[in-house]
Amino acid sequence: MSLKENIHIDRLPNHIAIIMDGNGRWAKEKGEDRLFGHLHGVESVRDIVEGCAELGVKYLTLYAFSTENWDRPAYEVSGLMELLIDTIRKEVPVLNKNNIRLHMIGDSTMLPENARRELKEALDETSGNTGLNLIMALSYSSRWEIVNTVQQIAEAVKEGKLEPKDISQNTIQQYLTTSAFPDPELMIRTSGEYRISNFLLYQLAYSELYFTNTLWPDFRKENLYEAIIDFQNRERRFGKTGDQIKKGQKTANH
Ligand code: IPE
Ligand code: IPE
Ligand code: MG
């Protein structure tokens, strides 16, 4: 039986988030420049997007560039930006063909003008698609997002639209850049690093975390299936006891 057949389609994670890490080390192992790793990382993006769309996953968030990544050497940053622009331009017809809608989270004001323009076009051109929602985290960090959220809430209070006592978890959710998406149920990080690196700190509160040593340019559908199967074998308790969860499942099944 293939890995894919072991996936319970009725219990798919609705939202998968991935920290795509290890491009630089992958290139280094091959005696190549880091940008060579990023270039091959795009192949993995294509394969995983296709894999998620085929399975019927509704939301996929990919951490492509963090706020902190701006501090990398200038040649790597500009190489990554060029790759980003080039990839978006090439992929829009594929996204449309596969009914995939592109979204972006992050500080777009930091992006070069041509990247912003290309992105805006891609967002507009795919906005009518109703299949997989592909959310690119670009120039994103969770602390940036939280600061941004707090500023907007403060603004709403100042304008008299909101009373401080009425601020709830719901309010915060509505002001986050991810307000249109459910929280990820599964978060995958490649390359053997066991950290979150400023990614969706609020939204990952109850996500299942999956870490693999596979470097991002080697990560393919089969690796995704393994992560999903692992996820499906876990018991998500949300603070309750295991017995409570089992009882709930029994009642739901009868
Ligand atoms: C992830 O790979 C891609 C980005 C952060 C843009 P890295 O470039 O971080 O690769 P390593 O971690 O140095 O191997
Ligand atoms: C996290 O990877 C950011 C992205 C994958 C875009 P990094 O390689 O930047 O993270 P650290 O520096 O190892 O924590
Ligand atoms: Mg890295």
Q: Is residue 225 part of a domain?
A: yes
Ligand 2 nearest-atom number relative to CA 64 = 6
Confidence band (pLDDT; 50, 70, 90) for 127? Answer: very high
Confidence band (pLDDT; 50, 70, 90) for 251? Answer: confident
Residues near 159 by beta carbon (within 8 Å), at least 6 away in sequence:
none
Confidence band (pLDDT; 50, 70, 90) for 254? Answer: low
Q: Is residue 42 part of a domain?
A: yes
CA of 21 to the centre of ligand 1 (A): 5
Q: Residue 35 CB: number of other CB atoms within 10 A?
A: 18
Q: Is residue 98 part of a domain?
A: yes
Q: Is residue 169 part of a domain?
A: no
| Single-letter amino acid code for the residue at 101 | R
Contact 44, 220 (CB under 8 A): yes
**What does the DSSP 8-state code read for residue 4?**
G
Nearest C-alpha neighbor of 125 from the set 87, 88, 170: 88
Has residue 134 got a pLDDT over 90? yes
Ligand 2 nearest-atom number relative to CA 20 = 5
Give the domain extent around 80: 11-141+182-237
Best probe residue, ligand 1, of 21, 38, 213 (max atoms within 8 Å of C-beta): 21
Cα 147 to Cα 238: distance, rounded to the nearest angstrom: 27
Confidence band (pLDDT; 50, 70, 90) for 253? Answer: low
* CATH number of domain containing 16: 3.40.1180.10
What mean pLDDT, rounded, does the chain reach?
97
Q: Is residue 161 part of a domain?
A: no
Q: Is residue 243 part of a domain?
A: no
Contact 49, 134 (CB under 8 A): yes
Contact 56, 224 (CB under 8 A): no
Six-digit token string for 29? 């192992």
* DSSP H or E run through 188: strand 186-189
CA of 24 to the centre of ligand 1 (A): 5
Six-digit token string for 162? 């909101």
Mean of pLDDT values over 24-36: 98
Beta bridge partners of 16: 60, 186
Cα→Cα distances 183→7, 28, 56, 116, 134, Å: 21, 34, 17, 26, 14
Question: Nearest ligand, CA of residue 136?
Answer: 2
Question: Nearest ligand, CA of residue 65?
Answer: 2
Q: Residue 123 CB: number of other CB atoms within 10 A?
A: 16
Has residue 172 got a pLDDT over 80? yes
Q: Is residue 6 part of a domain?
A: no
Has residue 116 got a pLDDT over 90? yes
Nearest C-alpha neighbor of 177 from the set 205, 200, 211: 200
Read off the pLDDT of residues 186-221 as tens digits, 9 standing for 90 and up: 999 999 999 999 999 999 999 999 999 999 999 999
Cα 76 to Cα 97: distance, rounded to the nearest angstrom: 31
Mean of pLDDT values over 152-177: 98
Residue that is written with structure tokens 């978060």 in the block = 187
Mean of pLDDT values over 105-128: 96
Looking at the structure of the chain, the number of domains it has is: 1
The catalytic residue positions are: 21, 69
Has residue 252 got a pLDDT over 80? no
Q: Is residue 146 part of a domain?
A: no
Separation of CA 98 from chain center: 19
153 ligand 1 Cβ < 6 A: no
Six-digit token string for 35? 């940008």
CA of 11 to the centre of ligand 3 (A): 31
Q: What is the pLDDT of residue 98?
A: 97
